[in-house]
Amino acid sequence: MDATSRFGQFVTSHPEWAETTHLDALRASQYARLDAQNQVYLDYTGGGLHAASQLREHTDMLDSMVLGNPHSLSPSSMDMTRRVEQARAAVLDHFNAAGDYTAIFTLNASGALKLVGEAYPFAAGGHFLLSADNHNSVNGIREFAAAKGADVAYAPLTRPDLRLDMPAMRALLAQAGGATPATPGLMAFPAQSNFSGVKHPLSLIEEAQAQGWHVLLDAAAYVPTNPLDLRAVRPEFVVMSFYKMFGYPTGVGCLLVRNDALPLLRRPWFGGGTVNFATVQGRMHVLSSGEAGFEDGTLNYLSIPAVEVGLRHMQSVGVEAIQTRVRCLTAWIIAQLMALRHSNGRPMVRLYGPTDMAMRGGTVTMNFYDPNGHLVDYRRVEELAGEARISLRTGCFCNPGAGESAEDLSADDMRAGIDAAGAAINLQRFMQVMQERGGKSAGAIRISTGIASTFADVERFLEFVGGFRDQTALTIGTVSFDIESCRVVREGS
Ligand SMILES: Cc1ncc(COP(=O)(O)O)c(C=O)c1O
């Protein structure tokens, strides 16, 4: 089928695409560098792209103002303080959180997560409950919890959809009658998986809170393509990185804390900017109230106004339009990938996570298999994609729990791999062991669409992967895997 007919088929199956055509014009005017360099960008879950106008507006501001370190009374400082506070108000407005939440600027989502982890009142008898699907910066909070004697538990995922196993999650939430002020419990999950694109149910927030839990919502992979209304769902803590939403600036993230939950957090230290008073001789300090008590040292103050610019850009495009566009493209990608077959009829692609569009976002993770059912080396796919000027991502995306669930890797599998791969983890050896233990893969290939994605981008990717048809040259698999039954095919069976 030629390109025009394919596009015709696409718009017929996704008529709502018509609501997003202003994004094609935006791509041509604001993201022209992609086409000028013949690049296809498919890593929006890794980082968003900025519009040319965002940079211009920000640099015009820097050029036209004299801006100094905020929080003093000089004109340059007061101007800077005003711009930082304006950005803070814009963040709260964007999430419909003004008056209810405090916005704490951090370096990134990880910085925001660490603030919660180190300051949450974990205690012996208390709990940290998290989904197996989580970024490592959420997984890492288990170290703070365990160090303070709290119980750490993971809620498993279902296979092959990689959704939360809700009965198991509910049983864990109900453990010991829920969480109490004396034995506090923090429950953490991502609104959208950075591995599978699954959108976990936000209704879980209220369910957990009804049983005494505090909820930490990792919104980093969700907010770039979905609206989040913090009057509709009210987690105690929400984290995000702004570069994922609109590409620029990097180095600024945010922790949103519900105001009534702010007194729960007890900072384990103080530093410049976080105290109203500190004495060396008297060995005491008084922490600043509100966000100031959490913003260590000097803020990335020149970059923070670019957050307001980025939010305005996103709002002018329309978060719903971005969401619709990403949904249409993702549905098309999935349908096309699932239809790819070698000449012998065997499927070429194994998708991880949902293959329908219910409760899923624009992140699609996969591995390729050759005509004999042998795994294709995802590292070689990345290299070849790079040669074709396509940016995608491979590995485990800092989300080991989702990857292990996707491949049904058990603690035994992981121990065997770790033992064989040695303390420094020889990845080649590790991958071999995973193959030997049932054709499992230690990593995958991830693509994701966003604000500047076009149908042509997606078609370039599909054409690229079509080139793996009948190829055996990129194989690393040592066993033959049947994608449809998810089983290793033994010789002669
Ligand atoms: C779901 C999720 N949470 C947290 C993070 C961490 O973000 P950052 O690296 O900006 O701290 C990421 C980054 O990929 C993510 O996708």
Give residue-wise pLDDT tens across range 392-416: 999 999 999 999 999 999 999 999 9
Nearest to 115 by CA among 259, 216, 191, 207: 216
Q: Is 241 in the pocket of ligand 1 (CB under 6 A)?
A: yes
What string of DSSP letters covers 204-247? Answer: HHHHHHHTT-EEEEE-TTTTTTS---TTTS--SEEEEEHHHHHS
Q: Give 18-54 pLDDT, tens digit per residue.
A: 999 999 999 999 999 999 999 999 999 999 999 999 9
Counting Cβ atoms within 10 Å, is residue 126 exposed (0-12), middle (13-18) or buried (19+)? Answer: buried
Q: Are 442 and 417 in contact (CB under 8 A)?
A: yes
- Separation between Cα atoms, residue 249 and residue 16, nearest integer Å: 31
- pLDDT higher than threshold 70 for residue 493: no
Q: φ, ψ for residue 129 (rounded to 5)? A: -115, 125
Nearest to 39 by CA among 388, 378, 393: 388
Which stretches within 211-363 are classed as H helix?
242-246, 305-317, 319-339
81: helix, strand or coil: helix
The distance in angstroms from the start CA to the end CA of the chain is 37
DSSP-assigned beta bridge partners for residue 198: 360
Q: Is 221 in the pocket of ligand 1 (CB under 6 A)?
A: yes
Q: Give 215-229 pLDDT, tens digit per residue.
A: 999 999 999 999 999
Residue type, 120: Y
- What is the CA(482)–ligand 1 centre distance, in A? 33
- Separation between Cα atoms, residue 145 and residue 65, nearest integer Å: 45
The residue whose CA has the least distance to atom 14 of ligand 1 is: 46
Q: Is 218 in the pocket of ligand 1 (CB under 6 A)?
A: yes
Q: Give 332-386 pLDDT, tens digit per residue.
A: 999 999 999 999 999 999 999 999 999 999 999 999 999 999 999 999 999 999 9
Q: Is 109 in the pocket of ligand 1 (CB under 6 A)?
A: yes
Ligand 1 atom nearest to CA at 110: 11
- What is the CA(135)–ligand 1 centre distance, in A? 6
For all residues of the chain together, what is the average pLDDT? 95
Residue type, 235: P
Q: Is 254 in the pocket of ligand 1 (CB under 6 A)?
A: no
- What is the CA(108)–ligand 1 centre distance, in A? 8
Q: Give 419-447 pLDDT, tens digit per residue.
A: 998 888 888 888 888 888 888 888 999 99
Ligand 1 atom nearest to CA at 222: 1
Q: How confident is the model at residue 17 (pLDDT cuts 50, 70, 90)?
A: very high
Q: Give the pLDDT of residue 287.
A: 94
Q: Give 288-344 pLDDT, tens digit per residue.
A: 999 999 999 999 999 999 999 999 999 999 999 999 999 999 999 999 999 999 999
Nearest to 129 by CA among 214, 62, 251, 27: 214
Q: Is 115 in the pocket of ligand 1 (CB under 6 A)?
A: no
- Separation between Cα atoms, residue 220 and residue 233, nearest integer Å: 16
Q: Ligand 1 pocket check: which of 130, 131, 194, 243 to mutate, most ligand atoms within 8 Å of Cβ? A: 194
- Separation between Cα atoms, residue 348 and residue 340, nearest integer Å: 6
Count of C-beta atoms within a 10 Å radius of residue 24: 15
DSSP state of 288: P
Report the range of poorest mean pLDDT among 130-134, 175-179, 480-484: 175-179
Q: Give the pLDDT of residue 431.
A: 84
Ligand 1 atom nearest to CA at 397: 14
For residue 290, give both structure tokens.
Answer: 């509100």
Nearest to 375 by CA among 395, 409, 348, 345: 348
Counting Cβ atoms within 10 Å, is residue 489 exposed (0-12), middle (13-18) or buried (19+)? Answer: middle
Bridge-based pairing state of the strands 480-482 and 487-489: antiparallel
Q: Give the pLDDT of residue 102.
A: 98
Q: Ligand 1 pocket check: which of 136, 218, 307 to mutate, most ligand atoms within 8 Å of Cβ? A: 218
Q: Are 184 and 161 in contact (CB under 8 A)?
A: no
- What is the CA(140)–ligand 1 centre distance, in A? 12
Global pTM value: 0.97
Q: Is 363 in the pocket of ligand 1 (CB under 6 A)?
A: no
Residue type, 122: F
Q: Give the pLDDT of residue 491.
A: 56
The residues annotated with a catalytic role in the active site are 398
Q: Give the pLDDT of residue 451.
A: 98
Q: How confident is the model at residue 249 (pLDDT cuts 50, 70, 90)?
A: very high
Q: Are 342 and 469 in contact (CB under 8 A)?
A: yes
Q: Is 374 in the pocket of ligand 1 (CB under 6 A)?
A: no
Ligand 1 atom nearest to CA at 193: 1
- What is the CA(308)–ligand 1 centre distance, in A? 20
Contacts of 11 (CB under 8 A, 6+ apart): 17, 18
Q: Give the pLDDT of residue 492.
A: 53
The residue whose CA has the least distance to atom 7 of ligand 1 is: 109
Q: Is 137 in the pocket of ligand 1 (CB under 6 A)?
A: yes
Q: Is 220 in the pocket of ligand 1 (CB under 6 A)?
A: yes
Q: Are 113 and 137 in contact (CB under 8 A)?
A: yes
Q: Is 194 in the pocket of ligand 1 (CB under 6 A)?
A: yes
- What is the CA(319)–ligand 1 centre distance, in A? 20
Q: Give the pLDDT of residue 176.
A: 65
- What is the CA(363)–ligand 1 centre distance, in A? 14
Buried b / exposed e over 149-172, threshold 16 CB at 10 Å, is: ebbbbbbebeebbbbbbeebbeeb
- What is the CA(240)–ligand 1 centre distance, in A? 7
Count of C-beta atoms within a 10 Å radius of residue 197: 27
DSSP-assigned beta bridge partners for residue 253: 106, 241
Q: Ligand 1 pocket check: which of 110, 255, 365 to mutate, most ligand atoms within 8 Å of Cβ? A: 110
